[in-house]
Structure 1
Amino acid sequence: MIPDVPGRLPAAFLAPDTSSFVEFLGRHAPEALRQLAPPPGSVATPPTAHATTIVALACSDGVVMAGDRRATAGNVIASRDIVKVHAADSHSAIGIAGAAGIGLELIRLFQVELEHFEKLEGTTLSLEGKATRLAGMVRGNLGMALQGLAAVPLFAGWDLATGRGRIFSFDATGGRYAESEHHSIGSGSYFARGSLKKRWRPGITTGEAASVAVEALFDAADDDSATGGPDVVRRIWPVVAVVDADGYRELDDTGVEALVEELVASRRAGARSGGAVPEVGGTPL
């Protein structure tokens, strides 16, 4: 075993070890993973901030992921501008629903996990490998999930091996499922999924899918009180991310605002025309 040398990093950081950052912490600083395991004798202590709703769509040229900005604690709005969609790395996105604190910590740990692997191995994990590692991390939170503090992610990215966008969903036990067209998680997911089924089509582009994602969140907010719709007064818009061959990027507020205004105008025109729904984004979706 390499001895510690004063003035240098501890020996544990210099010895050959696992390329998993989570496993490294588990061996040398298990207390840093306490958020992924329930403390002895602990019980759930509501109200806890919960985040919803996330949607993702597979497109001909990548994937689109979008999330609303509301977090609730019981019947109270805990936050109006929480960000639930983040870049996992340069070619993948992750969104979370459920216990907001645990979910955001899971995202940060997953980001470090991918960066740690890349630095040690000199290459990135495959998209399948990333989804598998994320599933293991979700399973590590099972104890808290059984106490009512579940955090479930939605993962999507550009598969460098196959040259296409892919979506992966998870359950609280760490189950991992590939989604071929679109998916939604969170309390508003049932309403968002209905909207996605109507608007998604084979060959849809990321530009068209961004409009569909905003509409799905709009429909979810119309029926689910825990999902926040676009806030025109405070100018708080959904987070819309695109992942394609060029990598991860987010639409700026101006772009999302334009999508919202177009959607609202189309709904108003539909109401004036007696209920007929006009095209959104200039293309029948």
Structure 2
Amino acid sequence: MDKDIKKHVVKTGTSTLGIVCKDGIVLAADKRATFGGEGGVSYIAGKDQEKVQEVTPYIIVTTAGTASDTRKVIKLVRAELRLKELKSRSKPTIKQAANLFASIAYQSIRTPSIIPSITHFLLAGYDEEGFFLYDISADGFLQDISNYASSGSGMIHINPILDSDFKENITLEEGIELAKKCINASIGRDPASGEGIDIYVVKKDSVKQVVKQKFDLVPRDQ
């Protein structure tokens, strides 16, 4: 019974990344969701997943792991941050948001369940202290990232490119092109990633989607 449940759980499979640039932060992700099958075989469950989610108007996250758990955590953090804002009459900081994600991830994965709560987030935002990129792993470990990070099944294809092509003081424009290169490479090799690319940028005055690219891999009759 447990195996039957687990193989029908929707996972985001995933290739996601974050790049710290001199004038902002780039977050990117693919668009495929999968069912985890037996023997390590995955089946496509969705082809238009939004794996970059807004938390507040100035904070965004990428999602990897079990789809329902990542969405649940985001909803909880949104609510908690809103309550903090109402009580303190000031905007929560990026660090406070990251700590909330980490705390929930830490507690969730240690709660006994038929379906373990597996979530991995890359969080980016801007506040009075500057730009921040955080890596929040499934066990609740929180890292402040100064250059770049990736998550998901596609990271083994993304990291070598980031290692070789990233440079200090990279611009947002260069970061966007590097993100495209990384996600495209992962989609070509990782069966749990695919369908398209979403890229967002965090600037001092805005969070904006700059790329929304959908791949049509099935030939159509003319």
Q: Same fold judged by TM-score > 0.5? A: yes
Quick one: distance in 1 between partners of 2:95 and 2:210?
Answer: 26
- Once the two structures are overlaid, the 10-residue window that deviates more, 108-117 or 97-106, is 108-117
Tell me: CA distance 1:153–1:251, structure 2 relative to 1, closer, same or farther (3 Å): same
Alignment of 1:197-236 (within 5 A): 197-228=163-194, 231=195
Match of 1:112 in 2: 79
Match of 1:153 in 2: 121
Is this contact kept in 2: 1:145–1:151, CA < 8 A? no
How far apart are 1:160 and its partner, in Å?
2.0
Quick one: distance in 2 between partners of 1:148 and 1:223?
Answer: 27
Match of 1:50 in 2: 11
Match of 2:52 in 1: 85
How far apart are 1:144 and its partner, in Å?
5.7
Tell me: CA distance 1:145–1:206, structure 2 relative to 1, closer, same or farther (3 Å): farther
Q: Which amino acid aligns with 1:76?
A: Y
Tell me: CA distance 1:175–1:252, structure 2 relative to 1, closer, same or farther (3 Å): closer
Quick one: distance in 2 between partners of 1:145 and 1:202?
Answer: 43
Q: Which structure shows the bigger proportion of residues in strand conformation?
A: 2
How far apart are 1:108 and its partner, in Å?
2.1
Count of aligned residue pairs for this structure pair: 206
Match of 1:125 in 2: 92
Quick one: distance in 2 between partners of 1:203 and 1:243?
Answer: 15
Tell me: CA distance 1:144–1:177, structure 2 relative to 1, closer, same or farther (3 Å): farther
4+ runs of 1 displaced by more than 6 Å? none
Quick one: distance in 2 between partners of 1:53 and 1:206?
Answer: 20
Match of 2:160 in 1: 194
Which is bigger in relative contact order (C-alpha 8 A, separation at least 6)? 2
Quick one: distance in 2 between partners of 1:86 and 1:144?
Answer: 27
Is this contact kept in 2: 1:135–1:170, CA < 8 A? yes
Quick one: distance in 2 between partners of 1:145 and 1:167?
Answer: 30
Tell me: CA distance 1:252–1:66, structure 2 relative to 1, closer, same or farther (3 Å): closer
Tell me: CA distance 1:172–1:58, structure 2 relative to 1, closer, same or farther (3 Å): same
Q: Which amino acid aligns with 1:153?
A: F
**Percent identity of equivalent pairs:** 24
Alignment partner of 1:250 out of 194, 209, 212? 209
> Is it true that 1:60 corresponds to 2:19 in the alignment?
no
Extract unaligned runs of 5+ from structure 1.
Answer: 1-41, 232-236, 261-285
Q: Which amino acid aligns with 2:199?
A: V
Extract unaligned runs of 5+ from structure 2.
Answer: 37-41, 216-222
Tell me: CA distance 1:144–1:68, structure 2 relative to 1, closer, same or farther (3 Å): farther
Indicate the SS of the match to 1:72: strand
Tell me: CA distance 1:145–1:179, structure 2 relative to 1, closer, same or farther (3 Å): farther
Is this contact kept in 2: 1:53–1:227, CA < 8 A? yes
Quick one: distance in 2 between partners of 1:159 and 1:123?
Answer: 11
For normalisation by structure 2, the TM-score amounts to: 0.85
> Is it true that 1:181 corresponds to 2:181 in the alignment?
no
Quick one: distance in 2 between partners of 1:154 and 1:176?
Answer: 10
Indicate the RMSD between aligned Cα atoms, in angstroms.
2.1
Alignment partner of 1:73 out of 5, 16, 35? 35
Is this contact kept in 1: 2:119–2:137, CA < 8 A? no
Is this contact kept in 2: 1:72–1:79, CA < 8 A? yes
User: Once the two structures are superposed, what CA deviation does each residue of 1:173-202 show, in whole Å capped at 9, x if it has no partner?
Assistant: 211111110000000011111111222111
For normalisation by structure 1, the TM-score amounts to: 0.67
Quick one: distance in 2 between partners of 1:99 and 1:58?
Answer: 26
